[in-house]
Structure 1
């Protein structure tokens, strides 16, 4: 099995970053929380498993996924009494007196050091808070064996509680006095008013006496309030000394932490320099002996401790850092190196150019403010197995599913989510050569799957003739249209065009099978991307999506398979491989790798990353065939590459996404009501709207009504077709359905030869004129 060695974050040679260590410590000091993915040893069968760890308030907890943080904690260990030991470059152990022991493994040495730093700081703080019982008695109880009578922690706790009760009673006294002052003050005011209205007669003396009595009562009450305030002030001054002492201790601790961090930073600077020099030396030595598969790879000394089984499939290639000579501008030492392409490659590393400027008239009109929330998902319980146990082997589209397992968007809207990262196509449209453009197109292929990582809900199956428009021309320069052009098999046609020089079109037919334990979804159809600049025409297909744990456990999604992105204009090709999840694989989960080649088969870029997080690219300087690696006698290509650069990164989910079906910022706006859309638009679908509003019982009833209406319309079309062509029947023996799409023409694709639906135009013109007479009544 080959080991990928590169200078990126997914490879094997790493340079510790002092700034990362300082950021980790600074985050822990400010918010007392640190989170991240760490591999945890489970057993000899499953080995190390990726878990989400959270360090907070001196406690280290872990979960299987981030989604479990709200409801299921798999384990917690108190760092105040725990010991932290380091096994080797990536492994470390946390033990709490033998009762709990976590054997953990970070993805790299830098990540391990960040965790060790965070754990040590949290442990020191937890131990200090436990020891400083004289400043805070919260960690002790009167019955604690360590609390000595009179002066122990329990006594101090009682003293603190007594002081708080006394302060509380004084506050109540102040409140009572305030009420009395208000009452007597009002009476005094009334008496004075009466006195002013009377003449000096025999009654004057009586009134004056009343005023005097009320003034006396007011004075007595005021004195009582003043005395209570004095007592309150005395108590506050007494306890302020203790509070000042606690504050001073916190300040001293902060100074000590700053000094520790400064020393730590100096140590890591020295380590970084030493490791960089060693890495450069090893890289030079490895580049001279790269023919053997075991040379130039990272040391794997902890294999005996990891208990990993062999991978199901070995990597197709190995990448190693290129010789430092390739980082220079000169290309005289590289055989067959294209200096022109290398210079063009600089634009791929730079920041993206400014987007196309809009016309002055567009700038004057404010952009529409899109919504950022939808109603929270209700907590309805329903047994999926009770519904699907009789549906094994059937097409997913033919299984009657309640909305309880849906998400409140249709498949057409889900298809429009492929444009979440449309800026990758914008950058591709500005590229100077096809190889650079191919990198962006390949990253766009991968980015389409990032929205599915937590989305286990099923989108609504569109009704025949249902449409969905996504008009983002003013915000992002593009607009797209989807239409359900076939019901059995279900097929949707999609067409998107951008003012920034690209067009995207696809027709996706979903073939799905339920296998009991998992559900396989196989998208059929080809995606086309056409760019005005250079007239480059790209095509690719989608990989298989698998939904696991249908019967028992938490649902999770995996993407697996291979994609060939082909430029039919130049012959360039990019081969992408989505690695399936395996319990025994040491690679990071959801891994994607790829190689960009020209029409002669020469590699120019190596792509790597994950489909749920990011993709990076590395410029290939040299390549050579490796020796036999023991995997069926196959040889793997060894690529020498420059330092990896980030090509794409997933946008963070909106706040509270776990209660909103894990929708992205774009997905939250897809079902937002909008004026002027076609009457067949998914936004107007009543059962989908009811589900979004949380009225699931009404949504289920409405869903049955719409499906029955669709069946009646189909039977009517079949009767009409039967009258016209009585001899023509479908494969299933049913009469032929002569349905024709409204906005797409059925034709043969000139590139692939497939029978597809291509946008024939007219939709946006009909929207401008508000003419929807030809649209079917489907809702």
Structure 2
């Protein structure tokens, strides 16, 4: 296996790598992390065209050069301040819980308005490591779209498992995407499991903006602590309340409030101690998003053909080159191949089964995903530290 092509200065620019093995070529394209306030580098030309980004099978002009699976993963492995370390090493159960609340807020990222990532293909994977944290994601369903994430940190003895199923609903001048699926974080050294959900994503057309809304509940049965967070947006024409989050941390048994939570998920969030009125900033978005580095390929031989950065490499390369005709052809090629594989499975009476997760569905619990392997191995793609 040999490196056939690369672009230098990988910390600041998109990185491309062509890997050859026998007669098969795997090309990997990794792009820089999403910016602090959404992907400013990739914008649709005007409002009418931005509206199209809400629909599937977009022309590549309205795609950012990465898969939704990669965007999902970035919320887990791309950060400046390491909240996971803080969660695990805080001295008391209450301090750890507050750190988990801050970590949960840190996974709320700002998508760009008017452009969107690629819709992951069935069985697409994304495997990335940051230090001792190893993250593995698989698209376990495409109709409806469901992604499963498993991450482990052997050094910190941390594990988290997410299942994500976005369900968009149109409401006249806005679209709300409810993000279904359970999220759990395990601090194994402390025997604590934290369960939480995700807020809804809202897209407003007039004025054009994106925000997170809805209620998030975080609870730890072992410590008896719970948090309720309410994400809010502004009124139709105002900006007050935009990106705001407000809530409380309390004891589950007595419902006694211990801390009030207030701030903005795109700037700072603070907690106020009910006993003494002391306020402490627990989350600063600038710290989380400072000096984010583009992932790089460390082990070429271990790149899977299902890796997001490989599946969409030709499309991404064409988008970055602004060769829209070629990008359209390459995107159609990926989508046509998926239809061909689905047709072959149907003709054989085969049912596609995820390779990395077991999945189940019920009306009561929606989709549930469990990793097949206990630990996630180190990835061939790494985030420089």
How high is the TM-score relative to the length of structure 2?
0.78
> Which has the larger share of strand?
2
Instruction: Report SS of the residue matched to 1:506.
Output: strand
Asked whether the 8 Å contact 1:372–1:669 carries over to 2, the reply is yes
Q: Distance in 1 between matches of 2:239 and 2:174?
A: 23
Q: CA deviation at 1:643?
A: 2.4
Q: CA deviation at 1:559?
A: 1.0
User: Could you say which residue in structure 2 is the equivalent of 1:481?
Assistant: 136
Identify which of 59, 65, 69 aligns with 1:412.
69
Asked whether the 8 Å contact 1:671–1:683 carries over to 2, the reply is no
User: Could you say which residue in structure 1 is the equivalent of 2:91?
Assistant: 432
Q: Distance in 2 between matches of 1:427 and 1:529?
A: 13
User: Could you say which residue in structure 1 is the equivalent of 2:235?
Assistant: 582
Identify which of 142, 145, 157 aligns with 1:490.
145
Asked whether the 8 Å contact 1:377–1:694 carries over to 2, the reply is no
Asked whether the 8 Å contact 2:164–2:180 carries over to 1, the reply is yes
Asked whether the 8 Å contact 2:158–2:187 carries over to 1, the reply is yes
CA RMSD of aligned residues (A): 3.4
Q: What does the per-residue CA deviation read over 1:225-262, in whole Å, with 9 as the maximum and x for residues that have no partner?
A: xxxxxxxxxxxxxxxxxxxxxxxxxxxxxxxxxxxxxx
Q: What does the per-residue CA deviation read over 1:431-466, in whole Å, with 9 as the maximum and x for residues that have no partner?
A: 2332221111111121222x3165652111111111
Instruction: Report SS of the residue matched to 1:561.
Output: strand
Return 5+ residue gaps in structure 1 as ranges. 1-368, 622-640, 655-663, 722-736, 769-779
1:614 has 2:249 as partner? no
Asked whether the 8 Å contact 2:43–2:113 carries over to 1, the reply is no
User: Could you say which residue in structure 1 is the equivalent of 2:120?
Assistant: 462
User: Could you say which residue in structure 1 is the equivalent of 2:369?
Assistant: 757
Q: CA deviation at 1:742?
A: 1.3
- Total equivalences in the alignment: 341
User: Could you say which residue in structure 2 is the equivalent of 1:677?
Assistant: 303
Q: Distance in 2 between matches of 1:519 and 1:671?
A: 35
The change in CA–CA distance for 1:444 and 1:764 in structure 2 (over 3 A counts) is: closer
Asked whether the 8 Å contact 2:150–2:376 carries over to 1, the reply is no
User: Could you say which residue in structure 2 is the equivalent of 1:705?
Assistant: 333
Q: What does the per-residue CA deviation read over 1:283-332, in whole Å, with 9 as the maximum and x for residues that have no partner?
A: xxxxxxxxxxxxxxxxxxxxxxxxxxxxxxxxxxxxxxxxxxxxxxxxxx
List aligned pairs for 1:279-678, cutoff 5 A: 371-374=11-14, 377=41, 381=45, 384=48, 388=52, 399-419=56-76, 420-421=78-79, 423-449=82-108, 451-452=109-110, 454=112, 456-473=114-131, 477-498=132-153, 499-515=155-171, 517-549=173-205, 555-582=208-235, 587-599=240-252, 600-621=254-275, 641-651=276-286, 665-666=291-292, 669-670=294-295, 675=300, 676-678=302-304
Instruction: Report SS of the residue matched to 1:462.
Output: coil
Asked whether the 8 Å contact 2:152–2:158 carries over to 1, the reply is yes
> Which has the larger share of helix?
1
Q: Distance in 1 between matches of 2:110 and 2:117?
A: 12
Asked whether the 8 Å contact 1:435–1:604 carries over to 2, the reply is no
Q: Distance in 1 between matches of 2:123 and 2:274?
A: 48
Asked whether the 8 Å contact 1:678–1:767 carries over to 2, the reply is no
Q: Distance in 1 between matches of 2:103 and 2:176?
A: 23
Asked whether the 8 Å contact 1:472–1:478 carries over to 2, the reply is yes
The change in CA–CA distance for 1:387 and 1:577 in structure 2 (over 3 A counts) is: closer
Q: CA deviation at 1:710?
A: 0.5
Q: What does the per-residue CA deviation read over 1:321-357, in whole Å, with 9 as the maximum and x for residues that have no partner?
A: xxxxxxxxxxxxxxxxxxxxxxxxxxxxxxxxxxxxx
Asked whether the 8 Å contact 2:164–2:182 carries over to 1, the reply is yes
Asked whether the 8 Å contact 1:372–1:665 carries over to 2, the reply is no
Instruction: Report SS of the residue matched to 1:521.
Output: strand
The change in CA–CA distance for 1:493 and 1:378 in structure 2 (over 3 A counts) is: closer
1:746 has 2:374 as partner? no
Return 5+ residue gaps in structure 2 as ranges. 1-8, 15-30, 32-39, 381-385
Q: Distance in 1 between matches of 2:72 and 2:341?
A: 25
List aligned pairs for 1:2-401, cutoff 5 A: 371-374=11-14, 377=41, 381=45, 384=48, 388=52, 399-401=56-58
The change in CA–CA distance for 1:595 and 1:380 in structure 2 (over 3 A counts) is: closer
Q: CA deviation at 1:511?
A: 1.0
Asked whether the 8 Å contact 1:456–1:556 carries over to 2, the reply is no
**Higher alpha-carbon Rg:** 1
Report 1 or 2 for greater relative contact order, CA contacts < 8 Å, sequence distance ≥ 6: 2
Q: CA deviation at 1:565?
A: 0.4
Asked whether the 8 Å contact 2:181–2:367 carries over to 1, the reply is no
